[in-house]
Amino acid sequence: MIKGLAASIAASVLFGAMYYMAPFLAPLDGEQIFGWRVLATLPFTTTLLLALGQWPRVRLLALRVRRQPLLAVGLVASAALLGVQLWLFLWAPLHGRALPVSLGYFLLPLVMVLAGRLLFAERLSALQWCAAALAATGVAHEVLRSGGMAWETWLVALGYTLYFVMRRRLRSDHLGGHWLDMTLLLPAALWFVLRAPASTAVVAQHAHLWGMVPVLGLISAVALALYMAAARLLPLALFGLLSYVEPVLLALVALALGEAIAPQQWPTYGPIFAAVALLVFDGALQLRRARR
């Protein structure tokens, strides 16, 4: 449990760092950044896979596909769901849509709590239920205030939940399954990198990208590996609630990039920030009990 908590928090911090990096990757556009991110992440993910002795899990998945050909369809769908999220994550801050995406990450834990409760019969502590109630209050206010949610918000909240549920059902919720997801995304990544105008020329012409693209790959590989580890080590509901650390950081990054939270939006973000504080307190209590 403690390892899962630490992995989730560390992944959230690294995702916040990537979100902040996105505008500095200009003049690459969102699709090109997605392509370079996959290409730069895969070598580091492969290194982690081999260093941690996880290659047998990939072989096991391959054997399962041979015995159950329909499993291949599920694995391709899993990779596609991840690919959409990776693209949206770095497309949004380049197009002034960072706040709708961060709101999607605020809504995501509630959807995951519901999925964990209905699909896996998971339980929450009293403080975790209070945090969920506070977050639900903030999300409900946003729905009433705006008359609905942006498509980016729903894509994050529903898409990521479906992704993690599918990985558990497919029994691919480990580093080997994540490596396979990234490998299956290679054709799309190459398409976005090599399509005209080729972004390889853009990278060659801008010296600051020579270092930033590999750094993006390293941070992405470690962050995704930690995120997938947390998803495996924690109950889905608790993993979802801990995901509130990330949207708080993403909202702060959005503010640092020049976007603003309107006064009428504070009843949305205020309860959610309070929910994160409760989760941090609950995590500290769990850590203290574990040490005892």
Look at residue 185 in the predicted model and tell me its pLDDT: 95
Of the candidates 236, 277, 246, 177, which has an alpha carbon nearest to the alpha carbon of residue 4? 236
Percent of the chain with pLDDT over 90: 20
Domain boundaries, the chain: 2-291
pLDDT for residue 230 is more than 70? yes
Length of the chain: 292
Could you tell me which residue, 121 or 57, shows the higher pLDDT?
Answer: 57
The pLDDT confidence band at residue 257, using thresholds 50, 70 and 90, is low
Number of H helices and number of E strands within the chain?
A: 14, 0
Of the candidates 18, 22, 246, 208, which has an alpha carbon nearest to the alpha carbon of residue 112? 246
Look at residue 76 in the predicted model and tell me its pLDDT: 95
Tokens of 142: 């946003």
Look at residue 158 in the predicted model and tell me its pLDDT: 92
Contacts by residues 188-197 (CB-CB < 8 Å, ≥ 24 positions apart): 188/34, 188/35, 188/38, 188/83, 189/34, 189/35, 189/36, 189/37, 189/38, 189/39, 190/35, 190/39, 191/35, 192/31, 192/32, 192/34, 192/35, 193/32, 193/35, 193/36, 193/39
The pLDDT confidence band at residue 241, using thresholds 50, 70 and 90, is low
d(CA 132, CA 242): 11
d(CA 128, CA 216): 33
Q: What's the first-to-final CA gap in the chain, in angstroms?
A: 15
Give the DSSP letter of residue 234: S
Q: Which of 21-25, 152-156, 187-191 has the least mean pLDDT?
A: 21-25
Give per-residue pLDDT as tens, 165-176: 999 899 998 889
What average pLDDT does the segment 202-216 reach? 81
Tokens of 171: 């029994």
d(CA 36, CA 40): 6
